[in-house]
């Protein structure tokens, strides 16, 4: 019972994150939603690790954390570069490319 | 203190066979080394040195594949797993690493002229290319889902930065941001799929998962199937398969043209590397479940790619849709399961030459500012620049699948594989989409050869030739590759046939 509760929470968090990325317009908020998705995955890994009694899942979490940190650095770099060119950029302003 | 240390048991670290990892290591060390050198001797190296260095690194990586391939085909050698079962060593990964190395070399040659024209210094572009290709190599040889994920992230994070490379062009940064958000979104799905598979099978190691699936029949396999579905979503994004293709046209159009060439060749090859390794090989026992999903991806990509390309007036965007169409063709090979892996490999190798060549021409015709990509800019190209037009004609006809080009045999291979598995529906859809896509390829060719030039052609400026040396070499190699694979395919099809993906458990 307890394990499935964790999995449900993780799935709900993942869904919230995914909905946030699709619905929000501020790139920074989209960013936070991406982080929420990754952390939902971490929660899933940890709860499986506990129920399988296997340390591999917890090791995976560290890899995910490192990758998420690297992703943040690059993403923020791109956002800063854009905001420098035009203030208050939102995802709706990113409409130069379409067709 | 000494007693304490003596009490600690030495940690059993896995044995690492460095020589077998050489192709990936060369790329990675090469990239980091260039970064170090450039930051030490700021600006004292010429721009040409960066490109030359990158080509040399890519060639060394390519050359280091050869002895490994020999060892693999040797009776004593054979596929193995390295680093405690985390990395696989088989012909399949070597073939794809070699393909990606060729992609890096050609893209670096294109990038040199582009950076000079745009007035960018850009050693970081080459660094990122090499790191990205190293990530692709790790993906191609991953024997563990976490290793696959790390390889994918090394590949993609570098690619995000490359797409946003041109700091003075808004469209480049927009492309970078879009690619980043959607790419990270896809990675999260992939990762969630990995977590579910871990929960369902108790391991992230592909060999262990394979063994588990052949031993145990799961009564409740919902979690496993959910995991595979999420993996397909994540990797579908990376290879630009419909319906996960929406980022492709925007990013391909906005990114600097040599970077687009890189993304279309190396990133796509790496994505398919992961797809075949995980879905086709590891989940072979579940093929009845995943085949319909891949069928849908393939059919949608084939149709969406070819139909959307017809209405485009921007050549770069049209080529982006055509790359979605090609992803559909490769997915036809993936859908055929193990029968189709050789066809997938041959297609990826052929596509590398065709697509780098095409985007190479786009880089040159695009002119300063990388903005002349409208169909009108190609009018009468045969009169103003006959050689460029001829090369573009070869690449376009090859992509359309005209006989005696690499594209024809590549398409034939995947359709044959679909036929062998009696999947006639998909084979017919593939052929129909080949006919549709021939229309828009031929439209560019017709416009190059039969229309009058519109507007003034870009004038040659002293000191910066319209077609820089690097791009010339890259285009010549791409033409030779495109025609060579089409006229003398024998050696390459043998190589692709020998490059069987094998997943080996640790300790063997």
Sequence-distant (≥ 6) Cβ neighbours of residue B139 within 8 angstroms: B148, B151, B152, B155, B270, B271, B273, B274
- Would you call the peptide bond into B243 cis, given omega within 30 degrees of 0 as the criterion? yes
Q: What is the DSSP string of B394-440?
A: HHHHHHHT-TTSHHHHHHHHHHHHHHHTT-HHHHHHHHHHHHHHHHH
As a whole number of angstroms, the distance between CA B505 and CA A55 comes to: 19
Half-sphere exposure of B249 (CA within 13 A, CB side): 23
Full pLDDT tens readout for chain B, 508 residues: 566 666 677 777 777 788 888 999 999 999 999 999 988 887 677 788 899 999 999 999 999 999 999 888 876 777 888 887 888 888 899 999 999 999 999 999 999 988 888 888 778 899 999 999 999 999 999 999 999 999 999 999 999 999 998 877 888 888 999 999 999 999 999 999 999 999 999 899 999 999 998 888 777 788 999 999 999 999 999 999 989 998 999 999 999 999 999 999 999 999 999 999 999 999 988 888 899 999 999 999 999 999 999 999 999 999 999 999 999 999 999 999 888 999 999 999 999 999 999 999 999 988 877 778 888 888 888 888 889 999 999 999 999 999 899 999 999 999 999 999 988 999 999 999 999 999 999 999 999 998 887 665 555 554 456 678 889 999 999 999 999 999 988 888 888 888 888 887 776 4
> Which one, of B128, B205, B187, lies nearest residue B161 by Cα?
B128
Instruction: In whole angstroms, give the CA distance from residue B413 to residue B411.
Output: 5
Could you give the 3-state DSSP secondary structure of residue B144?
Answer: strand
CA distance B397 to chain A (A): 25
pLDDT of residue B158: 95
Number of domains in chain A: 1
Residues contacting residue B164 through CB under 8 Å, at least 6 positions apart: A78, A81, B172, B173, B175, B176, B177, B179, B180
Residues in chain B within 8 Å Cβ distance of A52: 198-199, 202
CATH of the domain at A44: 1.10.287.3510
Is B90 part of the contact surface with chain A (CB cutoff 8 Å)?
A: no
**Smallest CA–CA separation between A92 and chain B, in Å?**
11
| ipTM score assigned to the predicted complex | 0.92
| In A1-99, alpha helices (H) | 2-23, 27-52, 56-85
Say yes or no for a CB contact (<8 Å) between A63 and B250.
no
Distance from CA of B311 to the nearest CA of A (A): 9
Strand pairing class (B87-89; B80-82): antiparallel
- Chain A residues near residue B253 by CB distance under 8 angstroms: 97
Q: Taking CB atoms and an 8 Å limit, are A67 and B253 in contact across chains?
A: no
> For residue A11, which of B188, B237, B149, B203 has the smallest C-alpha distance?
B188
| Higher per-residue pLDDT: B30 or A79 | B30
| Secondary structure element (H or E) that encloses residue B479, with its range | helix B469-487
Question: Cα–Cα distance between B19 and B94 in angstroms, integer?
Answer: 13
Domains of chain B by residue range: 18-498
Find out whether B358 and B396 touch, Cβ atoms under 8 Å: yes
Nearest to B453 by CA among B376, B374, B361: B376
- Which residue(s) pair with B258 in the sheet? none
Q: Tell me which residues of chain A, numbers 57 to 96, contact chain B at a CB-CB cutoff of 8 Å.
A: 57, 59-60, 63-64, 67, 70-71, 74-75, 77-79, 81-82, 85-86, 91, 94, 96
- Report pLDDT for B318: 94
Looking at residue A87, its pLDDT comes to 64
pLDDT at B462: 47
| Structure tokens that stand for B198 in this block | 């871990």
Of A60, A74, A82, the CB nearest to B204: A60
SS3 letters across B211-266: HHHHHCCCCCCHHHHHHHHHHHHHHHHHCCCCCCCCHHHHHHHHCCHHHHHHHHHH
Check residue B180 and give left, alpha or beta (phi > 0: left; psi -120 to 50: alpha): alpha
Cross-chain CB nearest to A78 (options B173, B191, B250): B173
Look up tokens 């060369």; give the residue: B26
According to the model, what pLDDT value does residue B231 have? 94
CA B212 to chain centre: 31
> Could you list the residue range(s) of the whole structural domain that residue A53 is in?
3-97
Averaged pLDDT, A49-68: 92
Contact status, residue B209 vs residue B197, Cβ threshold 8 Å: yes
Q: Which residues, in sequence order, are CB contacts of B141 under 8 Å at separation 6+?
A: B24, B87, B88, B89, B90, B93, B97
């Amino acid at each position: 019972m307890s394990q499935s509760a964790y999995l449900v929470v993780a799935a709900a968090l993942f869904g919230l994150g995914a909905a946030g990325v699709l619905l929000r317009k501020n790139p920074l908020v989209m960013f936070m939603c991406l982080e929420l998705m990754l952390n939902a995955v971490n929660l899933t890994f940890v709860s499986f690790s506990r129920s399988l009694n296997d340390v591999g899942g917890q090791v995976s979490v560290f890899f995910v954390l490192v990758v998420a940190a690297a992703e943040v650095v690059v993403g923020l770099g791109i956002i800063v570069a854009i905001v420098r060119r035009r203030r208050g950029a939102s995802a709706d302003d990113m409409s130069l490319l379409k067709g | 203190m000494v007693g304490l240390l003596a009490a600690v048991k030495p940690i059993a670290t896995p044995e690492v066979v460095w020589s077998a990892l050489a192709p990936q290591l060369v790329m990675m060390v090469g990239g980091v080394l260039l970064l170090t050198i450039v930051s030490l001797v700021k600006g004292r190296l010429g721009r040409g040195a960066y490109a030359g260095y990158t080509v040399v690194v890519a060639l060394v990586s390519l050359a280091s594949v050869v002895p490994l391939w020999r060892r693999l085909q040797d009776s004593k050698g054979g596929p193995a797993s390295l680093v405690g079962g985390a990395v696989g060593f088989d012909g399949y990964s070597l073939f794809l690493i070699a393909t990606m190395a060729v992609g890096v070399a050609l893209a670096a040659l294109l990038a040199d002229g582009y950076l000079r024209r745009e007035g960018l210094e850009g050693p970081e572009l080459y660094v990122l290319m090499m790191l990205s290709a190293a990530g692709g190599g790790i993906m191609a040889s991953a024997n563990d889902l976490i290793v696959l994920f790390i390889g994918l992230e090394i590949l993609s994070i570098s690619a995000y930065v490359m797409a946003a490379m041109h700091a003075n062009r808004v469209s480049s940064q927009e492309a970078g941001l879009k690619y980043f958000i959607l790419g990270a979104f896809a990675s999260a799905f992939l990762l969630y799929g990995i977590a579910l598979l871990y929960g369902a099978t108790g391991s992230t190691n592909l060999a262990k998962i394979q063994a588990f699936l052949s031993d145990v029949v799961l009564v409740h396999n919902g979690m496993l199937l959910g995991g595979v579905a999420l993996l397909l979503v994540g990797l579908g994004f990376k290879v630009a398969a419909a319906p996960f293709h929406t980022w492709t046209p925007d990013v391909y159009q906005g990114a600097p043209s040599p970077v687009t060439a890189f993304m279309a060749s190396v990133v796509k090859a790496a994505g398919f590397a992961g797809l075949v390794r995980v879905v086709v090989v590891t989940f072979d026992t579940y093929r009845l479940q995943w085949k319909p999903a891949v069928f849908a991806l393939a059919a949608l990509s084939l149709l969406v790619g070819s139909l959307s390309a017809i209405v485009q007036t921007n050549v770069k965007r049209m080529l982006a849709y055509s790359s979605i169409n090609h992803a559909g063709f490769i997915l036809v090979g993936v859908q055929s399961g193990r029968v189709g892996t050789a066809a997938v490999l041959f297609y990826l190798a052929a596509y590398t030459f065709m697509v780098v060549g095409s985007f190479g021409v786009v880089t040159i015709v695009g002119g300063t500012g990388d903005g002349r990509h409208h169909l009108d800019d190609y009018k009468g190209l045969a009169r103003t620049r006959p050689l460029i037009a001829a090369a573009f004609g070869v690449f376009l006809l090859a992509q359309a699948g005209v006989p005696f080009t690499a594209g024809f045999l590549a398409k034939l291979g995947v359709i044959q594989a679909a036929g062998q598995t009696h999947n006639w529906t998909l084979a017919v859809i593939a052929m129909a989409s080949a006919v549709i896509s021939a229309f828009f390829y031929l439209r560019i060719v017709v416009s190059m050869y039969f229309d009058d030039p519109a507007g003034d052609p870009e004038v040659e400026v002293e000191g910066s030739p319209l077609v820089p040396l690097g791009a010339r070499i890259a285009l010549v190699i791409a033409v030779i590759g495109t025609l060579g694979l089409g006229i003398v395919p024998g050696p390459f099809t043998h190589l692709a046939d020998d490059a069987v993906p094998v997943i080996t458990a640790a300790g063997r």
